[in-house]
Amino acid sequence: MDGNETVDRPDSDRPERTDRPNGTDDDSSGTAVDASTDAEPSDGAVPETDAETANETSPSADDTSSAADDHEQSSTSDADSSMPAVPDPDPQENDVPEDVQKYARFKKMDGAEYERVNEFLRERTYITAREWAIARLCSDFRTETGVEMTKIGENLPELIPFMTDTYTPQAVNQARSSFEEKVRTAGATFLYGAMCDFFTAEELDDVMYEATEVAKFLLEVEGVDLSVEDELEAEERISSVMREVREASEELRAEDIAESED
C-alpha cells in the first residue's frame, strides 16, 4: 500500500475523541434525548408546563378572599345558631302582670319561712300554709268567669313571700279544694259540738271567741284592713248563727224528751 490509501477500521479500533466538551458523554446525551422523547405526547398536543399547571390549579387572590369571607360568615352563623339562649339577667318588670305587681297582701310575712308559718297554723287550725295562701289568692283573683288559677300558680313566689315555687293550675285547684273540704268538715264538727249539748252556753261562747281571735289575726297578717264596723258586723253574723244553732238544739232536745215520755 502506498501512502495515499486508507484502511477501513472498525469502530471499536478507532481512538476515542477527546475534543468533546467536559462534562458531556454519550450516556448523559442519551438520557436527555430519552427524557425529551418521553415528555412528548403521542397525540401531538403541546405539553403543559409546570407554571401553567400551577396557574390553573391554584385559586386567585380574589377567589381566596371570597372563600375566606364565606367561611367567616358561615362560622358566625353556625356560632349564633348553636349558642344557647341566655336568659336576661335583669328581666323586665313588664313580664309580671300589673295586678300581681300591685298585690299588697302578706307584706308582714316578708322573710318568713314556710315551715314556721305552717307550724303556727297547724297549732290553731286544720289548714296548711299552702292552703291558707292559695285560699286568699283565690278570693282576690276571682273574676266573672272563675278563679285565675294559671296566674296564681305562675306568680305564686311574687304574691306570697313564704312560697318559693310556682304551681300548675291543677296544683292550685287541688289546694283550693283541700281548703274548702277542711272548712266544711270543721264547720260540721263545730256545729255538732254546739247542738249536741256537749258545750254549755258559756263554753260555746269561749269557743267562738277563741276562733274569732285566730281568724282576725290571720286577716291582719294578710294585710286586711278590718274596720271596727266590719268586725262588729262579722261578730253579729256569727252570733246570729249561733243563736239559731242553740234554738235548733233546744227544739231537738224537747222532741227527744217528748218521745221518751210517750
Q: Which residue has the cell 425529551?
A: 36
For residue 246, how many C-alpha atoms fall within 13 Å in the half-sphere facing its CB?
Answer: 13
**What is this structure's pTM?**
0.58
Please give the DSSP secondary-structure letter assigned to residue 90.
S
Helix locations, 4-91, DSSP H: 26-39, 50-57, 61-82
Q: Report how far residue 218's alpha carbon sits from residue 210's, in angstroms, rounded to the nearest whole number.
A: 13
Q: Report how far residue 130's alpha carbon sits from residue 107's, in angstroms, rounded to the nearest whole number.
A: 16
User: Mind listing the pLDDT tens digit of every residue in the chain (262 residues)?
Assistant: 444 444 444 554 454 554 444 444 444 444 443 444 444 444 444 444 444 444 444 455 455 555 545 545 554 444 444 444 444 545 454 588 999 999 999 999 888 999 999 999 999 999 999 999 999 999 999 998 899 999 999 999 999 999 999 999 999 999 999 999 999 999 899 888 888 888 887 888 888 889 889 998 999 999 888 778 887 887 788 778 777 877 877 787 788 788 777 7
Tell me if 178 sits within 8 A of 133, measured CB to CB: no
> Rg for the chain (alpha carbons), in Å?
53
At position 41, the amino acid (one-letter code) is P
Question: What are the distances in angstroms from CA 112 to CA 28, 216, 231?
Answer: 104, 19, 27
Tell me if 117 sits within 8 A of 129, measured CB to CB: yes
